[in-house]
C-alpha cells in the first residue's frame, strides 16, 4: 500500500532548502555591500558562492577551467587518457572572422584541427606557413552553415616544426575576393606539446 506523504516531516528536505536560502541571503548582502565598495572585492566572493552552489549540486554541468599556457589553453583528462591544446582568435573589423586551432591526442595519435569561417574558396584549401617559411596547401575537410574545418594527423617532424616556430599563419581565399590570414602565436606551445604523448612515426598528412 502506498502511503500519503503530505504530512511526512523530512529533516533532510528542510536542510536541502536551508542551504539555497542561506546562499541567497549571502548574495543579497554582498550585493548591498558592493554598491558601497564599487570595487573588485565582490569577484572572489561571488566565485566562492558559485563553488558552494556547485558543491551543493546546483551546477552539475560545470566544466573545470583549462590550464593557460601562454596563448594556449590545455585541457587534459588523465582518466580518459586524452589531452588537447586550443587557441581561439577573436577577430575585429568589418570583414574579419573568427578562427581556432586545436591540437589533440587520442588513442596514441595526435591531430591538428583548424576551424575557419565560411564564405571561403574550399578548392584552394588552406595555406599553412610557419614564420617566414614557404606555406603549404592543406585541403579543407568539410564545411557547415557556421564554419569550415581542416583536420590532419601530426607527424613527429611536424611537431618539431611547431616547436621551432614563433607563429603559424593560416590563410584562406574569400569567395568575394581577396584573402584572410589568421596568425596563431606559438607562445606556450612547446610547454603544451610536452603534455601530449608523442605522435606515432607513421606516414601522415602534414
Domain residue spans in the chain? 11-55, 67-193
- Residue 139: the pLDDT is 95
pLDDT digits (tens, 9 = 90+) for 51-110: 443 444 444 333 445 889 999 999 988 766 778 999 999 765 555 678 999 999 887 789
Task: Name which CATH class applies to 67-193.
Answer: mainly beta
SS3 114: strand
**Regions in the chain scoring below 50 on pLDDT:** 1-8, 10-18, 20-24, 26-64, 202-206
- Give the other-Cβ count within 10 Å of 37's Cβ: 10
- Residue 56: the pLDDT is 43
- Give the other-Cβ count within 10 Å of 141's Cβ: 14
- Residue 77: the pLDDT is 81
- Residue 36: the pLDDT is 36
Cα distance between residue 158 and residue 162, in whole Å: 6
CA 206 to chain centre: 23
The residue behind cell 601522415 is 204
Amino acid at each position: 500500500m502506498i502511503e500519503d506523504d503530505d504530512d511526512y516531516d523530512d529533516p533532510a528536505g528542510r536542510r536541502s532548502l536551508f542551504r539555497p536560502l542561506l546562499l541567497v541571503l549571502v548574495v543579497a548582502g554582498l550585493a548591498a555591500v558592493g554598491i558601497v565598495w564599487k570595487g573588485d572585492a565582490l569577484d572572489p566572493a561571488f566565485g566562492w558562492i558559485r563553488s558552494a552552489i556547485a558543491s551543493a549540486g546546483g551546477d552539475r554541468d560545470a566544466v573545470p577551467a583549462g590550464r593557460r599556457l601562454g596563448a594556449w589553453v590545455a585541457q587534459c583528462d588523465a582518466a580518459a587518457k586524452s589531452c588537447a591544446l586550443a587557441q581561439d582568435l577573436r577577430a575585429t573589423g568589418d570583414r574579419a572572422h573568427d578562427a581556432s586551432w586545436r591540437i589533440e591526442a587520442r588513442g596514441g595519435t595526435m591531430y591538428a584541427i583548424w576551424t575557419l569561417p565560411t564564405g571561403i574558396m574550399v578548392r584552394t584549401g588552406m595555406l599553412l606557413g610557419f614564420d617566414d617559411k614557404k606555406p603549404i596547401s592543406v585541403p579543407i575537410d568539410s564545411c557547415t552553415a557556421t564554419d569550415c574545418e581542416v583536420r590532419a594527423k601530426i607527424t613527429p617532424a611536424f611537431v618539431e616544426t611547431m616547436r621551432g616556430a614563433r607563429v603559424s599563419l593560416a590563410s584562406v581565399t574569400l569567395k568575394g575576393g581577396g584573402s584572410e590570414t589568421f596568425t596563431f602565436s606559438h607562445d606556450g606551445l612547446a610547454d603544451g606539446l610536452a603534455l601530449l604523448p608523442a605522435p606515432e612515426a607513421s606516414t601522415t598528412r602534414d
